[in-house]
Chain A
Amino acid sequence: MSVLAERVISRDWGREGQATLAVYKRHGGYEQLKKALKLTPAQVTEEVKKSNLRGRGGAGFPTGLKWTFVPSKEKNALPRYLAVNADESEPGTAKDRYILEYDPHLLLEGIGIACYALGAHTCYIYSRGEFKHPSAVLDQAIAEAYADGIFGDRAMGTEFSIEVTQVRGAGAYICGEETALLESLEGKKGWPRLKPPYPAVVGLFGCPTVVNNVETIASVPRIFEKGAEWFAGIGAGKSGGTRLVTVSGAVNRPGTFEVSMDTSLRELIYEYAYGQGLPPGRSVKAVIPGGSSAPVLTAAEIDTKLEFDAFKPVDSMAGSGGVMVMDDTTCLVRCLWRVARFYAEESCGQCTPCREGQPWMARLIRGIEEGRGRMEDIDTLLDVARGIAPFPPFGLGTTICALGDAGALPVQSFVSKFRGEFEAHIRLGGCPQGETPWGHFGEFR
């Protein structure tokens, strides 16, 4: 069992006034930026590489390595940008929001360090439009940092200039995808770009750009505080540090928790420090481990650890840390319909398989759920999913961005792992759970 010995990212969340510069500085805030500014940019990147920090936005890509993809000034003299992804829209995920609300200066300090390492003088934080309060807290923190000379022409009194601007989205899941995010930052609709070229080479305004998640960047100051070796050491496997996960659905204590990556899904669901199990008599039927884009797991698969590489054997992913738990009285066809409907709504419409396939799957699932389904529909579902994502469980198939796969893989996994439930709906001509498809906590009280 591994309950986290010390919290790293959420360490200061409980402290009164933590979102203000005064309190943040009183407890050592911005000392790590000061330290980093005395190193060379290459040394800073090297530390981040050594720490084994991996992207918390969903893909788990090694952060230091990503930073080295930005071409040298000799090869490419254009300005470079840092774009922080605060779009947090992956269903099941609620973590970045708390960093913005409870410890915004931690993110800003990380931004300072990252900008210096990248030679970027401009950072845009793209936050989802629905974050009224978190965005207000962040804007206040940015203003304080400017007033204190942390940002501006001479950041922390050095020759290095750093400009930081928050840009608020306006309601579109697709803008969390990094190239759609860049389009949106350029003032356009969020249509993902074909890759390559990758943003590190051709990004915002055609310039080299690194896109990183909020939690990723907020981890950076901790690496300089306690050392890259320490950060790598508290991780698991090739993943450094701790991570924030959100447990939702059928558990007794839903919440956002910081965990060691040695923690298993089972521990997260049942331990007293975390989800505190299910109500008496209820058991786990299914778990989505990393946001709704991550293929579903059965109760037999929840000994998987919350580390980025650990989900490969079960054909799923750690993703964005959004763990959604469904109990034994829940209708999984109804659950999958909610997921499929989401991808149908949020498809940007550029690629035919995604634009046409996602709504088609949603309609088929709805039909089955309402008792209008036929046995052939199950195979049609799998066919449509395969048409969008021909190479399960991973990899871009026939579409420009990974939203295509993100919508298709849940369908494939739900149908193949719980086929009996789909067949039961068809045989019965309706839902076996009757009027209460949502499980133990599914009624509004």
Chain B
Amino acid sequence: MGEPLFTPAEQSAFNEGIAKLLTRYPSDRSSAAMLPALRLLQKMKGWLPPQGMEQVAEKLGTTTTAVYEVATFYVMYFTEKPGTYVIDVCTNLACALRGAEGMLAYLEQKLKTKAGVNGPRFYLRETECLASCATAPCLQINEDHHESLTKEKLDALIAGMCT
């Protein structure tokens, strides 16, 4: 099996976290805690390693297949390890009307990457509307939201990622 997934301290934190989640659901509905359980796993490991998904299946009384089915349906879950910075750029209509396509191209050029490519440092992706349409264009870096972006503001964010 190779390396264990968690250190003993991490393992007990994970166990406690899951136990706490389960208190929020009817006792015969443990598998309902799937989304928050995967979120917890990803928060701890940065992605969803297979061993972790097996643990989730076991703790929630469901099958590994059921866990994979959920993990692959939602775009925020990573079943493969993502680069250090996941950058989600909204290119939906309201943002496109305020420069989102140009912003994406600018990022591709500055970060020397292409949207959709999961590199070791940057995983730049096009995403759908982030409910920031009147404060467009916008993006999220590792889930932190940035809006009303200009070249100047974006340069500062890029500098922050490149130090």
Q: Contacting B136 at CB < 8 Å: which of A163, A171, A248?
A: A248
Q: Which residues of B contact A339 (CB under 8 A)?
A: 93
B 79-109 binary contact with A (CB < 8 Å = 1; else 0): 0000000001001111011111111011000
The answer to whether B129 touches A92, judged by C-beta atoms less than 8 angstroms apart, is yes
Nearest B residue to A133 via CB reads B145
A contact residues, total (Cβ < 8 Å)? 61
Known interface pairs A168-B35, A256-B134, A338-B92. Does A129 touch B74 (Cβ–Cβ under 8 Å)? yes
B 43-60 binary contact with A (CB < 8 Å = 1; else 0): 000000000000000001
Nearest A residue to B29 via CB reads A205
Binds B, one of A41-49, A181-189, A306-314: A181-189
Q: Which residues of B contact A169 (CB under 8 A)?
A: 35, 74, 76
The answer to whether A445 touches B150, judged by C-beta atoms less than 8 angstroms apart, is yes
The answer to whether A438 touches B128, judged by C-beta atoms less than 8 angstroms apart, is no
The answer to whether B99 touches A130, judged by C-beta atoms less than 8 angstroms apart, is no
Contact size range, B: 35 or more
Q: Which residues of A contact B105 (CB under 8 A)?
A: 444
The answer to whether A185 touches B75, judged by C-beta atoms less than 8 angstroms apart, is no
Q: Which residues of A contact B3 (CB under 8 A)?
A: none
Nearest B residue to A256 via CB reads B134
The answer to whether A130 touches B106, judged by C-beta atoms less than 8 angstroms apart, is no
Assess whether B11 is interfacial by the CB under 8 Å rule: no
Q: Contacting B36 at CB < 8 Å: which of A97, A131, A167, A250?
A: A167
The answer to whether A438 touches B145, judged by C-beta atoms less than 8 angstroms apart, is no
Complex-state Cα separation, A443 to B130, whole angstroms: 20
The answer to whether A345 touches B150, judged by C-beta atoms less than 8 angstroms apart, is no
The answer to whether B70 touches A187, judged by C-beta atoms less than 8 angstroms apart, is yes
The answer to whether B129 touches A89, judged by C-beta atoms less than 8 angstroms apart, is yes
Assess whether B151 is interfacial by the CB under 8 Å rule: yes
A 127-143 binary contact with B (CB < 8 Å = 1; else 0): 01111110000000000
Q: Which residues of A contact B96 (CB under 8 A)?
A: 334-335, 338, 438, 442
Q: Which residues of B contact A325 (CB under 8 A)?
A: 97
Q: Contacting A93 at CB < 8 Å: which of B77, B100, B133?
A: B133
The answer to whether B99 touches A172, judged by C-beta atoms less than 8 angstroms apart, is no
Complex-state Cα separation, A346 to B74, whole angstroms: 10
Assess whether B34 is interfacial by the CB under 8 Å rule: yes
Known interface pairs A254-B134, A324-B93. Does A185 touch B32 (Cβ–Cβ under 8 Å)? yes
Known interface pairs A130-B143, A186-B32. Does A249 touch B92 (Cβ–Cβ under 8 Å)? no
Assess whether A170 is interfacial by the CB under 8 Å rule: yes
The answer to whether B75 touches A172, judged by C-beta atoms less than 8 angstroms apart, is yes
Known interface pairs A93-B131, A172-B74, A172-B75. Does A442 touch B97 (Cβ–Cβ under 8 Å)? yes
Q: Which of A144-175 contact B (CB under 8 A)?
A: 163, 165, 167-173
Q: Which of A288-304 contact B (CB under 8 A)?
A: 288, 292
Q: Which residues of A contact B24 (CB under 8 A)?
A: 163, 165
The answer to whether B99 touches A132, judged by C-beta atoms less than 8 angstroms apart, is no
The answer to whether B150 touches A91, judged by C-beta atoms less than 8 angstroms apart, is no
User: What's the nearest-Cβ distance from chain B to residue A213, in Å?
Assistant: 13
Q: Which residues of B contact A163 (CB under 8 A)?
A: 24
Assess whether B38 is interfacial by the CB under 8 Å rule: yes
Nearest A residue to B134 via CB reads A254
Known interface pairs A94-B135, A338-B91. Does A188 touch B75 (Cβ–Cβ under 8 Å)? no
Complex-state Cα separation, A173 to B131, whole angstroms: 11
Complex-state Cα separation, A330 to B94, whole angstroms: 12
The answer to whether A94 touches B132, judged by C-beta atoms less than 8 angstroms apart, is yes
Assess whether A69 is interfacial by the CB under 8 Å rule: no
Nearest B residue to A349 via CB reads B73
The answer to whether B131 touches A132, judged by C-beta atoms less than 8 angstroms apart, is no
Assess whether A439 is interfacial by the CB under 8 Å rule: yes
The answer to whether B128 touches A249, judged by C-beta atoms less than 8 angstroms apart, is no
Known interface pairs A94-B132, A130-B76, A170-B38. Does A441 touch B97 (Cβ–Cβ under 8 Å)? yes
Could you name 15 residue pairs across A and B whose Cβ atoms are closer than 8 Å? A89-B131, A93-B133, A132-B143, A133-B145, A168-B39, A170-B74, A187-B32, A187-B62, A248-B94, A254-B98, A335-B97, A338-B92, A339-B93, A342-B128, A445-B151
| Residues on A facing B (Cβ under 8 Å) | 88-94, 96-97, 128-133, 163, 165, 167-173, 184-190, 205, 246-250, 254-256, 288, 292, 322, 324-326, 330, 334-335, 338-339, 342, 345-346, 438-439, 441-445
Q: A170-B75, A246-B134, A254-B136 are in contact. List 4 more A-B contacts (CB 8 A).
A: A131-B131, A171-B76, A248-B136, A442-B99
| Residues on B facing A (Cβ under 8 Å) | 24, 26, 29, 31-36, 38-39, 60, 62, 66, 69-70, 73-77, 88, 91-94, 96-103, 105-106, 127-137, 140, 143-145, 150-151
- Nearest first, the 7 closest Cβ-Cβ pairs linking A and B are A444-B102, A187-B34, A170-B74, A444-B99, A189-B73, A171-B76, A171-B75
